[in-house]
Chain A
């Protein structure tokens, strides 16, 4: 019995001409066996290695499915490209394949989908593998400081309900980092872990990941704001101590002429400067919140109890 929900599979394609055909064939095989209707959307992020030709060759040989290639005008990275792909998708459920490395049994795709049907709007699959130190550090800092409902982790692919996509669009003007918004959208999320099959290669790291990491930390955690605020306060304290010291020297002995006034002026000036900086930081963090977030609260569901 095939599923009657319409599903879309959005695949990020960047320089993977070597194995994209194989990936699509396996993905298509699984979807065709289990879904009455589906579409494949390949987001081509300025590939120059024949990836597009490989997709066309696959589409020409495959039975039935609607295959779309969304060509990005120039390299725009994983997040922007996948946002475009999901915007184009029409399915009731949308799969996001961030990478074309399939180091899992295709049946896992179905398992992820089935899990979604049990009441999770977002279900992801992540490999149990050793991630690079930088990734681990990022996720640790992020999860510590971003008050998201769920922790983030590296993920290979995920499925989203239409409800989750609508929710994320309603919450935020832009989607600079999908995972963080998904984890924060207030709907139920589940993560399936799998042991990567040996010899299937590692998913490549996105080129722009350090920029992405900074953006994510600034937008979704208060970490940068708090760090700056804390520094400003420390500086203010130091300025106060120096001012006190200047007064003490003035009272206890005879400093060089002009030293006391210079020091007092500097102390006063810097104290004011750091005080203003603290206020500016507060303003900036408010502005980020106001421009970036559309809704002030998120909810999971409304339960009406009546007799």
Chain B
């Protein structure tokens, strides 16, 4: 039995950030990751937005918080951030929950940049009632991953174990005992559950279902595109309703294409994510343990035809884009956040000494919410 100061489950951004944070303080840290490499799921497979808050015109709180962390993230991780493109936000004339004026007002209130430009420059006539140049960037998950691996390599007190899915989590005061698939056991007075879509499975191993997050699961597709010249230096997001976004994907030179209606392929409202495709996943995926949707044999067919038609309906014809490939991942969405469309970062402290903390966030730059927890300043 190995004893650690902190055990971190999940090697996404939140997990590795926590590991480095604690490692720098000289703590002995163990990171357990189910995949054979870090950043294989949500940290990589998303729109790669460094959020400034524009996305949440109906949740001032979420917006202000993102904006607050925006500068800090760009300072700390600027090396992986792609900034040299025009990020355009537009409000759709029909079916939007927010119109151009309201969006402008919201940006003013949140104190974020928003310069009105002619919607006709980007969109077909009548489809958008406001277009705005904004300040928002995109990060490159692979550059960020390599940076973390390099930094963590400088700390011999941090140990990373790949291909070690957690199969057991038991409280045995004053520690939690963590068991992995290969039969190894580890223990620590502090366990951080940073497994995003798998959070509830981990929580339920140690505690009752009442401690689990109230989430719905969506199997989401991000499409990667090559783009024609007019679009290459531009990111476009049409809000606030069943619309789409096409924007640079980190520093890859590709654009990501997503849409509110067609990006989620399937949804599960069960306490643990049950999906019909799990039956044909070759045993790699079940409600108790989610596989990697992107490398799954039962990966859905692309919704490219739908997403591209939606984007083409809005965009002027010169903004051409072409299919390159798709990425799939599971996304947990807090049920409470559907009305105001907020995306709070939830840090839930399940127990003290031994400590078990779960973090659930859909945004990269709110990673700093972990600082308090890692400093031990926690209250539940």
Which of the residues A36, A88, A92 comes within 8 Å of B94, measured between beta carbons? A88
Stretch at the interface among A162-170, A231-239, A247-255, A283-291: A162-170
Does B310 have its Cβ within 8 Å of any Cβ on chain A? yes
Contact between chains at B126 and A90 (CB < 8 Å): no
- The A15-38 residues at the B interface (CB cut-off 8 A) are 36-37
A-B contact pairs, 6 of them (CB 8 A): A37-B305, A84-B94, A87-B93, A90-B306, A92-B312, A162-B313
Interface membership of chain B positions 80-116, coded 1 if the CB is closer than 8 angstroms to chain A and 0 otherwise: 0000000000000111000000000000000000000
For B309, list chain A residues within 8 Å (CB): 6, 37, 90-92
**Residue of B305, B306, B309 contacting most chain A CB atoms (<10 Å):** B309
A122 to B341, CA, bound (A): 39
Contact between chains at B313 and A90 (CB < 8 Å): yes
- The B37-74 residues at the A interface (CB cut-off 8 A) are none
A84-B94, A88-B95 given; A39·B306 CB < 8 A:
yes
A91 to B310, CA, bound (A): 8
Which residues does B use to contact A, with CB under 8 Å? 93-95, 124-127, 242, 262, 305-306, 309-310, 312-313
**A247: min CB distance to chain B, Å:** 59
A66 to B310, CA, bound (A): 13
A166-B125, A169-B127, A170-B125 given; A66·B95 CB < 8 A:
no
For A92, list chain B residues within 8 Å (CB): 309, 312
A166-B126, A169-B125, A170-B126 given; A87·B306 CB < 8 A:
no
A159 to B95, CA, bound (A): 22
A170 to B127, CA, bound (A): 9
The 6 closest A-B pairs by CB, nearest first: A169-B126, A170-B125, A87-B94, A37-B305, A6-B309, A90-B310
Residue in B closest to A168 when the chains form the complex, CB atoms: B126
A91 to B305, CA, bound (A): 10
A166 to B310, CA, bound (A): 14
Contact between chains at B94 and A6 (CB < 8 Å): no
- The A158-200 residues at the B interface (CB cut-off 8 A) are 162, 166-167, 169-170
Residue in A closest to B305 when the chains form the complex, CB atoms: A37
**A207: min CB distance to chain B, Å:** 24
Additional A-B contact list (5), CB under 8 Å, known A6-B305, A87-B93, A90-B309: A37-B306, A66-B262, A90-B313, A92-B312, A169-B126
A91 to B93, CA, bound (A): 18
For B125, list chain A residues within 8 Å (CB): 166-167, 169-170
A66 to B93, CA, bound (A): 23
**Residue of A6, A84, A89 contacting most chain B CB atoms (<10 Å):** A6
For B94, list chain A residues within 8 Å (CB): 84, 87-88
For A36, list chain B residues within 8 Å (CB): 305
Residue in B closest to A295 when the chains form the complex, CB atoms: B125
**A294: min CB distance to chain B, Å:** 9
**B236: min CB distance to chain A, Å:** 16
Which of the residues A39, A87, A166, A170 comes within 8 Å of B95, measured between beta carbons? A87
Interface membership of chain A positions 33-52, coded 1 if the CB is closer than 8 angstroms to chain B and 0 otherwise: 00011010000000000000
**A111: min CB distance to chain B, Å:** 23
**B87: min CB distance to chain A, Å:** 23
Residue in B closest to A64 when the chains form the complex, CB atoms: B301
- The A85-115 residues at the B interface (CB cut-off 8 A) are 87-92
A166 to B314, CA, bound (A): 10
A6 to B305, CA, bound (A): 7
**B182: min CB distance to chain A, Å:** 42
For B306, list chain A residues within 8 Å (CB): 6, 37, 39, 66, 90
A104 to B138, CA, bound (A): 53
A142 to B212, CA, bound (A): 65
**A6: min CB distance to chain B, Å:** 4
For B305, list chain A residues within 8 Å (CB): 6, 36-37
For B242, list chain A residues within 8 Å (CB): 88
A37 to B306, CA, bound (A): 8
For A169, list chain B residues within 8 Å (CB): 124-127
For A89, list chain B residues within 8 Å (CB): 313
**B126: min CB distance to chain A, Å:** 3
**B223: min CB distance to chain A, Å:** 15
For A162, list chain B residues within 8 Å (CB): 313
A87 to B309, CA, bound (A): 13
For A66, list chain B residues within 8 Å (CB): 262, 306
- The A55-98 residues at the B interface (CB cut-off 8 A) are 66, 84, 87-92
Residue in B closest to A39 when the chains form the complex, CB atoms: B306
A169 to B128, CA, bound (A): 11
A66 to B242, CA, bound (A): 14
For A166, list chain B residues within 8 Å (CB): 124-126
Residue in B closest to A166 when the chains form the complex, CB atoms: B124
Residue in B closest to A5 when the chains form the complex, CB atoms: B309
A36 to B309, CA, bound (A): 13
**A193: min CB distance to chain B, Å:** 31
**A163: min CB distance to chain B, Å:** 9
For A37, list chain B residues within 8 Å (CB): 305-306, 309
A162 to B310, CA, bound (A): 12
For B312, list chain A residues within 8 Å (CB): 92
Residue in A closest to B303 when the chains form the complex, CB atoms: A66
**B261: min CB distance to chain A, Å:** 8
